[in-house]
Structure 1
Amino acid sequence: MQSQGTPADPVTGILFLLCIGAGVIALLMDALAITLRTPALAGLPVLVPVGVPGLILDNGTDKLTLVLTAAAFLLLLGVDVLGRRRGAAAGRREGVGTAGPRGTAGRGWPVTEAFLIGGLGVATALVLSIAVPNLPGDGRVGGRATGPLLFGDGVSAMVNLGQDLRSSQAGAALHYRTSAAQPPYLKLLTLDRFVGPSWTARLEPTNTGNTVDAIDRPPGLSVQVATTEESTQIVIDGVASAWLPTPGAATKVSGLVGAWYWNGPTGTIASTNSTTRGQKYTVTSLTLEPTPEQLRAATGRYPVSVESSLRLPRDSPLIIEQTARAVTAGTTTPYDAAVALQEYLRGNEFTYDTTAPVADGYDGGGVDVVGTFLEVKRGYCVHFASAMAVMARSLGIPARIAIGYLPGSRSSNFIEDRDRFNVDAHDLHSWPELYFTGIGWLPFEPTPGRGTVPSYTRPADQSTPLGGPVVGAPSTAPRPFDDAGQALSTGGGSATTAGNDAGTPGRVALILGALVVLLAAPGGIRLLRRRRRRNDLARGTAGGAEAWRELVDTALDFGVIVRATETPREFAARIGALPGLTGTGGAAAGAALARLLAAAERHRYGRPADGAPQPELLGDLDTVSMRISMGATTGVRWRARLLPASLWGFLGERGRVPVTDA
């Protein structure tokens, strides 16, 4: 879990933890909904599996999952309301009280309102999730800082790397200048072991003695191999990671903030308490320059420390070893076999394509994916690097995968007579490293159209990269920071590129629209309820009980305290004393209120025939409601329209005069 990006490969251990978590959530929901009889709170535990992905994944929570979960939650609430209504009705038949839950005498309208409110909430959440721009830390370069030993949001491994490459926006990651004749690859992380079918990073305890002011020579490197010492000054623009991007074979790093330590077996540098965000540092490194003759002679026994890099998962597709042996037929040394594998993958049979693996369902770098990739022959750096690494292992050559950045693009700006190179998210890359006795780990470049073939793997007269056509690769058109006169940041902090604000007006419009809908929702729902009751009164399908309910709700909306212990007559006496029902015009309103009270009392206390519908009650209701509104201040009237108190259950139950069917 520490070494994978998100979404992580579903290895057995992670699935086991997820099953335990799902069981705990189910038990907790059952306790809340059944034992404690608080079904509304049962929705809280389910927010964990539904909501957490929205905080981690670039594309947020799956919309269909969110809608189905919300619908199930609303159904749970609806079942609870119906159950309570039936219990109240049974109690009335048995003579146990007469005041059931609010609205139990209606036609199920409160249940409908609950679904309307819930559906509106879901729709609003969906709109906001589309409209609101991603906060820093969306899983790509420039994400929020991660904890110790977490790859997480700074740079994402394997599948996430492909998401970054396919992104239309490439945030600036870093820039650097170097004394090296050939701009270096910048390595972040090493994947050197399998958990199930998937590559993962080796996690070892941090040795606090391995400070970066003095880094050992690469393990296994013979003094007979020529090396050149280079210096590279790096400024982080947007990447936040606990792993430090450095050229290979670093021997010293200066200028870092925080505690950083090197790992000899993996060739990486990581921090336990800091991130790369805002860092400016200088790396002294060695460029290894072995000759083909030295590489062909590197046939001795491998050290015990690298033997684990020969292992492959059980049940690896047979096509991996079969292809490897067919490609390397006739070679006599591990070096020649490695070069043959590199040339095969960079040949015309393969095509660089960032979209095909996603469309055809074989994205990622596990051995099962490699089997499909070797048949389809379309993919991007993750697939090419993983394919060469597992094929090399099948031939008995230790291999692993490095993740980091390509050298980037050369800028027209010069700093101290050195070219400046700019690196962005589209320069994220993975490549294989193979081990040779007496030389150590060496990088190879099997991805066609990307990067540069190492000099020790090509003829002396070959100076340009090999490779086939590139489909779906990031554009090679000049980027904004490649222009000649454009000033560039030389300090730390996040950087943005042109296009980051694209779609902002549309997002703002969606946000404003969602806010307007959200603010207008209570008033709209209250208006629908009022209109339904008025229509029923006008058609003669409702009588005194429904008219009285509407009068009580109107009084609540205008701030009148309604006590559940009051009789309708006591409540009417307080209504009649309101400013709008006294003085000029108050007599007609008082008479209308008296007729409404009489109808409500006949419905409550009289025989069923006495409570028959009375269409003329609609006029009386309008008269009294208008006079209540006239006696209120402007602020109270607006509050009654936008935030009607009668909608909120706790106010309604506290301030309602119960009226039930006789």
Structure 2
Amino acid sequence: MVRMPERARSSLLTSDLPLAVVLVVLVALAGVVLGRMYAGGLLTLLVAGAAIGSVLVSVVCRRLPSWLVAPLSVLGLAAWTLWSLRLAADRADLSGPLAEITGEAARNGIPRLLTAMIPVEPTPDTVLVPVVAAWLAGLAASEVTLRAGRVLLGYLPPVLLYAGAVYLVGPNAEPATRPTLVFVTVAVLGLALPGRVRPATADRMAGLPPKARAVTRIRLVGASTAGVAVVVALAVLLGPALAGMIGGRPVDPRRYVEPPRVDSLDESPLIRISGWALHPDQKLLDVTTQSTDDADPTVAPARIRLAVLSDYDGVTWQVGATYRTAGRILPETAAAPGSIVETVRQELTVAELTGRLLPAIATPREVAGARVAYDPATGTLIHPEGLTPGLRYTVTSAQERPEVNLLAMADVPAGAEVARVLRVADGVPESLRQLAEQLSESAGAPYTRAAAVEQFLAEHYLLVPDAPSGHAYPNLEFFLFGPRNAGGQRGTSEQFAAAFAVLGRLVGLPTRVVVGFRPSGDGPVRAGDAYAWPEVLFDGLGWIPFDPLPQPDTEPRPVEEALRPPPEEPPEPEPEPSAEPAVTPQASGASDGPADAGDGPPSVLLVAGAAVGGGLVLVAMLLLTLLWLRRALSRGRLERGPPGERVGGAWREVTDALRLAGHPATGDLAATEVAVVARDVLASAHGAGGEPAPVAAVGVTELADLLNRVAFAPGTITDQQAERAAAIARAYVAALRGARPWWRRLLWPVHPGPLGRDRADRRRRNARA
């Protein structure tokens, strides 16, 4: 039996083992700090296990050659990492083979750790990096400290790991005061341990002559003194700066990482309401309520929320969310005082719903079965990979029922914190401002004002499924005041909710629009269940939903004259020039008597030929004049004036082309909706001719975006953008004209319609001026 030498055993007990414990504690404290932003204590245990395993391998293998320790430690790292990932996957209910889980975690570990929502759920992709970093730090520290005998240098990996953990947590947890004090105390105790001089160094010192030994000791003392001087100098220089940072707010590294983003369809899902309304039987979801705590059976089923839209720029209501990758557990928000909170657990299965927005009852607290990203400000969930048929997930929500009896006395908040939901975009029509003022004249309290807007919309307007989409200022103005025989005063829940939210902000109410579903119970959720509703924020009560939709089978009342905008005065007609009496002079010397017999009437053929020839000349001159005027009009629109006017001219070229093609864009459509119509017209025209439509080469949507910028930010349009708009307009007009029959192509450039409409537009602008 081989016995360990007594000197080696005493070295292990007096030097290696205490130092090994010190290193384990230093590495494990990084897990304690990092675990403050994780849900539960799993990450702290996994990091502590990595610290123990890495240091233990170095202690056991300290008698082996140094080149053999690293491979053995890497094998231990692989075993511990795989076990940690399997444990984290089981805790998070993530199924699948371990190889697939490991590959997914390796690819997305760092991005998801930096974009994860606080508290971070310990899943494979959020525990992989801390566990591997802790093991490597423990390996480097133990090898430098125990094998090389350099304790201070061996402290560097744990210090860097600890500093990285503090930086990664940032402002998302309380200051790590106690762990830092423990870290410093344990490090000092490690430095104070006896027997830290390497045996080889001691043997060399003993074999030196007395004179050389004294010189060596002087050098060691000098080096130690210089090191202490450097430390003291750094403390003096950096101490005040570090002390000044104690009260400051640490930097959050998540701000440097771009969170998951969604496309325009998910950013503004309000435009999907009209499409769903036209296909009410389309199955979008399946819902099963698994459990409901303290549920009131007399209350209707809860609304399923798809997205919360808080930002309005005068054209589109948008979510404006910053999504952070979240685990199963979502951050909690405090409930309103006195409100009843019910826990609702539902299982949802996606059918034909598309996009990334994930439906759930407000307010979600736990999501299982699907990877999600979450915006705490709006409570909106997304599935970053996109929805697919058959996706099944379970949501546990805290459904809050506020004390409605307090609404009449409740106030609304104000200030910078709610400026986002109080902002009214520039360009509000004067008719909307006047209507808001008249509705709020007799209403003092905030709830009374909200109820007045709700009642006005419900009593005066008609809910129809075939109303066109659009909630920009012109759309809302047409919805509120347009003639009924022309499609005004009727709309889907899109117009009702958007009109309520805009009028509410005009009377000082913080409002937002919510898009979701109103199911009748468990079972399929169809497109006909989709609708939008407005919400108002009250102090102490939170967001309260309102329902401005009219009751079924009720006839809307006509809008009172006092609430209508004053009619626009028609422009004064231009005075017609007075007709002067025609004077036919007679030639001097002409005879008043009968003509000579030789001067008889001209032949019929000669008269007919002269008439036809003169007519053709007049027609040709007219066509040439129209052609010249049309080309001058196009050049003036596209090449003259400021960039904003040229973008508007390019848009008028497109709308004139639609009129010439027999598809005029009505005034109730927004620019983005006209762009959709323009693309469809071009596609159908080329499809009828058997040729593929050059829709990709005609950026009508880009032109609509430029037009909206002209309306709401006119000073930002550049010459290059105006030239781009002109190119888009020319390409579209040429493509649409090329799809017409040959005789319509010939008449296209001489049609007088654009000239008349341009003249009418000029008259209207002059009348307004």
What range describes the TM-score normalised by the shorter chain of this pair?
A: 0.3 to 0.5
Q: Which structure would you say has the larger Rg?
A: 2
Of structures 1 and 2, the one scoring higher in RCO (CA 8 A, sep 6+) is 1
- Scaled by the length of structure 1, the TM-score of the pair is 0.40
- Normalized per residue, which structure has more helix? 2
